[in-house]
């Protein structure tokens, strides 16, 4: 599918990945409408950080993904929808699971219902590697069993299955992108990489973390964004679930050590109890099998392997250590 000449909607455009995706779509010359969460401050979230010349090219549409009427209004006149709007913090899902059902499952239902009624050409629905739970085998392919080890993961499984059900029941043209642990500029400090960087950048040498033994597949945001675009362009991706990850597995402890080597400091890692997930909720291991993405989309991570991870970390550190950017983070307060 050729994206030029199409009107593209990005839900969750004010978030971490959503803002990067919106920015890249505009850079490529696409016609973009950005659905951002309504608030009384008239804030557009991370879109505020995009270059002014790009912002001028974006149609901003404020609303709430939980409101079926508002999201349908936003989708009118659009051809393709990138659906990223979601609550994503795992720790907060322990405290407010109902909100995750409303936002992640019902919000996705609102998008799908509108897509069906408006005859949208394609919906790219955003999943997460958290739906796999602790790996039963690695690398994790799209055939891996789904395991809801947190209310967040369960809500995303529900949203994914809702998307699949609309494809099976009504032939709604849905593709599901399943990113692994995306990192980069603008990410929330509740995520481990910004947590480490911001603490070090503020002069801390005893870093507060949760569990340090789990492994993750960190995928740089530029690679994730390109995955979204390739899935949207690929006609054969309709009805498919596609992993997007680096294929490189590293522990949280070794991630912290790598960051500190790049930043040129020695640290001590301390475990803080409030940052530790309940024992059966912790996802101990994640590592992506991206062979389907390579075969179907021609996509492969540019930030691959240890060298690619170091390159991505350097770019991330450069952004976070900019004083203006760092000032926006409450580095000394755990944001669950």
For the annotated catalytic residues, the residue numbers are 152
The 8 Å CB, 24+ separation contacts for 133-140 are 133/283, 134/282, 134/283, 134/284, 134/285, 135/284, 135/285, 135/286, 135/287, 138/249, 138/285, 138/287, 138/289, 139/247, 139/287, 139/288, 139/289, 139/290, 140/243, 140/286, 140/287, 140/288, 140/289
Helix or strand (DSSP H, E) at 197: helix 192-201
User: Whole-angstrom Cα distance, residue 19 to residue 224?
Assistant: 12
Q: Is the peptide bond before 32 cis (omega within 30 degrees of 0)?
A: no
CA dihedral 270, 272, 275, 276 (to 10 degrees): 90
Torsion-angle region of 86 (φ positive above 0: left; ψ -120 to 50: alpha; else: beta): beta
User: Which helix (H) or strand (E) is 269 found in, with range?
Assistant: strand 268-271
Q: Identify whether the C-beta of residue 245 lies closer than 8 Å to the C-beta of residue 179.
A: yes
How many CB atoms within 10 Å of residue 119?
9
At residue 172's C-alpha, the angle toward residues 166 and 170, to 5°, is 60
């Amino acid at each position: 599918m050729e994206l030029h000449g199409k009107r593209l909607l990005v839900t969750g455009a004010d978030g971490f990945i959503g803002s990067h995706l919106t920015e890249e779509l505009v850079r490529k010359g696409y016609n973009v409408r950005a659905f951002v969460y309504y608030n009384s401050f008239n804030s557009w979230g991370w879109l505020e950080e995009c270059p002014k010349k790009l912002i001028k090219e974006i149609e901003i549409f404020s609303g709430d993904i939980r409101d079926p009427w508002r999201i349908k209004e936003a989708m009118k006149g659009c051809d393709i929808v990138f659906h990223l709007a979601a609550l994503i913090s795992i720790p907060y899902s322990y405290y407010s699971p109902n909100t995750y059902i409303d936002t992640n499952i019902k919000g996705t239902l609102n998008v799908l219902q509108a897509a069906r009624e408006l005859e949208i050409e394609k919906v790219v629905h955003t999943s997460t590697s958290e739906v796999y739970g602790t790996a039963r085998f690695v690398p994790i392919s799209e055939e891996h069993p789904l395991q809801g080890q947190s209310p967040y993961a369960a809500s995303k499984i529900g949203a994914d299955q809702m998307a699949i059900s609309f494809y099976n029941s009504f032939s709604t043209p849905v593709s599901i992108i399943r990113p692994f642990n995306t990192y980069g500029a603008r990410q929330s400090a509740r995520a481990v990489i910004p947590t480490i960087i911001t603490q070090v950048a503020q002069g801390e040498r005893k870093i507060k973390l949760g569990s340090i033994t789990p492994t993750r597949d960190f995928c740089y945001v530029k690679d994730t964004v390109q995955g979204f675009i390739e899935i949207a362009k690929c006609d054969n991706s309709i009805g498919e679930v596609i992993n997007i990850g680096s294929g490189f597995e590293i522990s949280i402890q070794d991630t912290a050590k790598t960051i500190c080597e790049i930043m040129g400091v020695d640290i001590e890692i301390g475990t803080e109890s409030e940052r530790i997930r309940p024992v059966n909720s912790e996802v101990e291991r994640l590592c992506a099998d991206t062979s389907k993405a390579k075969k179907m989309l021609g996509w492969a991570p540019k930030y691959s392997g240890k060298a690619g991870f170091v390159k991505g970390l350097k770019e991330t550190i450069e952004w976070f250590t900019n004083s203006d950017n760092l000032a926006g983070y409450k580095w000394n307060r755990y944001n669950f």
